[in-house]
Every structure is written in C-alpha cells, then in structure tokens.
Amino acid sequence: MDNVPRGPLSLFWPRQAQPSDAEAIKHLWWAEARRGRSDQSWWLSEIEETSSRWIVLEHEGQIRGAAFMFWHQPTKADRVLLVQPLLAADEDAEGSLLRWILNEASDLPPCRVQIWRGCGHDGLLPDFGFAHTRTYWRMDRPTLEGLEPVDLPSGYTLVSTDEGQPPVADWLTAYDRAFSEEWDYSPEPIDRFTRRLTRQGHHQRLNLAAIDDEGRVASLVLCRLAFHSGDARPQPVGSVDVVGTVPNARRKGLARALMIQGLCRLRSNDARSGSIRVDAENPSQSYRLYQELGFEKVFELCIFERHLA
Ligand SMILES: CC(C)(COP(=O)(O)OP(=O)(O)OC[C@H]1O[C@@H](n2cnc3c(N)ncnc32)[C@H](O)[C@@H]1OP(=O)(O)O)[C@@H](O)C(=O)NCCC(=O)NCCS
C-alpha cells in the first residue's frame, strides 16, 4: 500500500485482547491521557466488557499498544472504520498498530479510517497519510449544584423511558430527524438504539424526551452515570450522551429545559460533575447552549482520516 512507512511488522503483530489485558489497556490509556493524547473518559469504564473487541500489541510480555475498532456507516456508499482509541506506549508501537490497521483495512471495500487524538498530538498519523478533518470538544461542568429544573415550553410534556410510552421506535424516529443532517451521522438500527437506552449507567429516568400535544417526540436528552477511576473529575460523572431536537421544534427552549432536567436527575442519582462531547463545527453551535449551562471546554479532540480506495 502507498504511503505506509515500513517497520518491523513481524516483531509487533497485534492479537485479539483477552479480559486479563484490561488492566494493561487502562494503564496505557491513563498514560496517554496524562500526555494529553487521549480523552480517557468515554470507554474506560467499559474495557472489561468489550475486551474481545480490542486488539493489543504485546512485546516481551508487555502490552505496548491497543486499539478499539468498529464500523460506522454514514451513508450506503460510505463506510468508516473508527479506531477509538489508538493507544501506544511509544512510536514503534504506534507505527506497528497503524501499519497493521491499514493493512487489514486495505483488504476491505473502500472506506475511511478515522482516528481520534488530543489536538496537537498528531504523532505518526500524518506520516501514515492521515489528515485532520474535524474537531470535537469535551466540555465539563465541575459541579451539578446551582441548577433548578425549568418547565418545558407550553404544548410539550416531559417523559422518560421508565414510563413505557411513547415506544422506543418513536424516540428513534426523533433521534434520526434531529441528527440526520449532522456530520458523519449514521442511522441506528432499533436494537442498537434500545441497547443504548439500557447501557450501563443509563437509568431509565435519565432518558428524557419532550413530547408534543400529539404525542410525538420533539426533543430528547439521554444521560448516564459514568465512573472514571483515575480521573480528576468529581465522580461519578453525569454524562450527557445525546441532545437533539427535531428541526421544526428548534429554538423554543426544549433542549435547554431537558438538559437542565437531565442534569438535576443526574445529581439526584449522586452524579457530582457533568460532561458532554460536542462537535466544535456543529452548525447548531450546540456548544453555546452547554456554555450557558455552565459547561466549559476542557479537552480538544482532533479527528484524523485516511481514505482507502
Ligand atoms: C443543538 C440542538 C439540540 C438545540 O436544540 P433546541 O431545542 O433548538 O435548543 P434550545 O431552543 O433549548 O436553545 C437553547 C440555546 O442553544 C443555542 N442554540 C440553539 N440552536 C442554535 C443555533 N442554530 N445557532 C446558534 N445557537 C443555537 C442558543 O444559545 C439557544 O438559546 P436562544 O434560543 O435563547 O438563543 C438542536 O439544534 C439540534 O438537535 N441540532 C442537531 C443535533 C445536534 O447538533 N445536537 C447536539 C450534539 S452535541
């Protein structure tokens, strides 16, 4: 393949991770986070459950690199192999992982390989043909104090998934309508969306929606409790995973009211700080809403991509 620097492939051939590798992966992740290369927050608490989906690079009995990969399909014609995170103890390990990933991906139908990195920590990515395409921020609220629930705008009612109505399919329809124009959005099958609502830390009362007077979901905010050991934020963290309003219900204050409600419910579930990840180039400038609600940018993530024909 073009534009792949050569290296000692055979010495550093990755293997599938086992549950017993989870601690070593966490150590690599913390080390990367300390250097500012990685945002440790998102998946760290789930490494044990997902260990079979990681690959690790072992050399002389030590785990020196790890990567978590999954497919993402924004449109029928476009496929993305998302590598998030890619962790490496040093340049040799990083080069070996990148070489292996590109090698594997080159046998597949055309796709984009996407890697997320703390901005300013490009490492070997440009040498391997990756270019910076998008920037995301992690925004934190250091405390959940000082928030009072506000009423939804008139004509809308607050519901959460513990109430059983409306059905999950209606939540998914609203999610699709809210996000369909967003960068790299890929429609979610209902089983994946249902799993998302019941994932670890997603208490049913933390999945909130505003329904209009015809019972349709107009806006949704999905929150979850997350524990990140070794992280400076007051734990557990109240993570706001999804904020979306269908196009014809925007700028009425729905997302703001649902977010405040979600943060208050997180606080009642003992969350001590808040966190959200946002596309910094989002056309709705959703980061403005988060700023108004007391969130501050704490980490900038650069998304790198390489197209493979
Ligand atoms: C971002 C989004 C959730 C806002 O939903 P909403 O219900 O319209 O938000 P609100 O009416 O509560 O607006 C709250 C504040 O957000 C900001 N805001 C919302 N839409 C905005 C826009 N298009 N441009 C600039 N600021 C905007 C404003 O500060 C607004 O307050 P204001 O109306 O008093 O100026 C909605 O536009 C959306 O679903 N966008 C697509 C999906 C998305 O980007 N989600 C966020 C992912 S991180």
- pLDDT computed for residue 241 by the predictor: 93
What distance in angstroms lies between residue 286's CA and the mean position of ligand 1's atoms?
5
Q: How far is the CA of 185 from the centre of ligand 1 (A)?
A: 17
**Cβ of 286 below 6 Å from ligand 1:** yes
Which of the four pLDDT bands, split at 50, 70 and 90, describes residue 147? very high
Looking at the fold, whether 169 and 193 belong to one and the same domain comes out as: yes
Q: Based on the domain organization, do 281 and 214 belong to the same domain? A: yes
Closest atom of ligand 1 to CA, residue 259:
12
Q: Which atom of ligand 1 is nearest to the CA of 286?
A: 1
Last residue of a domain, one of 61, 95, 129: 129
Q: 2 C-alpha vs ligand 1 centroid, how far in Å?
A: 43
Domain assignment of residue 272, yes or no? yes
User: Within 13 Å, how many C-alpha atoms sit on residue 266's CB side?
Assistant: 34
- 260 versus 39: the higher-pLDDT residue is 260
Long-range Cβ contacts of 263-268 (<8 Å, 24+ apart):
263/141, 263/144, 263/147, 263/223, 263/238, 263/293, 264/144, 264/147, 264/148, 264/149, 265/205, 265/206, 265/208, 265/223, 266/144, 266/206, 266/223, 266/225, 266/238, 267/144, 267/145, 267/147, 267/238
Query: Are residues 286 and 145 both part of a single domain?
Result: yes
- Residue 139 Cα, ligand 1 centroid: separation in angstroms? 16
Structural domain includes residue 150: yes
Q: What is the pTM of this model?
A: 0.91
Distance 204 CA to ligand 1 centre (A): 24
Structural domain harbouring 211: 140-299
- Nearest residue (by CA) to ligand 1, atom 12, is 253
237-245/273-279 β-pairing: parallel
Mean pLDDT of 103-114: 88
Q: What CA–CA distance (Å, rounded) separates 254 from 260?
A: 10
Q: Answer whether residue 118 is part of any domain.
A: yes
Do 146 and 174 belong together in one domain?
A: yes
Q: What CATH number has the domain bearing residue 58? A: 3.40.630.30
Distance of CA 20 from the midpoint of ligand 1 (Å):
43
Q: Are residues 185 and 217 in the same domain?
A: yes
What is the Å distance from ligand 1's center to 218 Cα?
13
C-beta separation of 230 from 265 below 8 A? no
Contact 295 CB / ligand 1 (< 6 Å)? no
Query: Is position 3 within any domain?
Result: no
pLDDT the model gives residue 40: 64
Residue of 251, 252, 275, 297 best suited for mutating to test ligand 1, as the one with most atoms within 8 Å of CB: 251
pLDDT at 10: 47
Q: State which of 79, 103, 129 marks the end of a domain.
A: 129
Does 9 have pLDDT greater than 60? no
Which of 129, 151, 175 delimits the end of a domain? Answer: 129
Confidence of residue 6 (pLDDT cuts 50, 70, 90): low
Q: Ligand 1 mean position to 253 CA, how many Å?
A: 8
**Domain co-membership, 123 together with 151:** no
Q: Tell me: pLDDT of 180 over 90.
A: yes
Flag whether pLDDT at 45 surpasses 70.
no
Residue nearest to atom 4 of ligand 1 (CA): 255
Looking at the structure, tell me whether residues 36 and 178 fall in a common domain. Answer: no
Are 94 and 151 found together in one domain? no
Q: Which residue's alpha carbon is nearest to atom 37 within ligand 1?
A: 284
Q: Are 295 and 141 in contact (CB under 8 A)?
A: yes
Cβ–Cβ under 8 Å, residues 257 and 151: yes
Name the residue with higher pLDDT: 6 or 70: 70
pLDDT at 2: 60
Number of domains comprising the chain: 2
212 and 259 together in one domain: yes
Q: Are 146 and 122 within one domain?
A: no
The answer to whether the CB of 254 is under 6 A from ligand 1 is yes
What is the predicted pLDDT for the residue at 289? 97
Atom of ligand 1 nearest to the CA of 242: 47
Domain assignment present for residue 104? The answer is yes
* 223, β-bridge pairs: 240
**Are 169 and 238 within one domain?**
yes
Reported as a single tens digit per residue, the pLDDT across 148-162 is 999 999 999 999 999
Write down the residue that tokens 């270019």 correspond to: 131
pLDDT at 154: 97
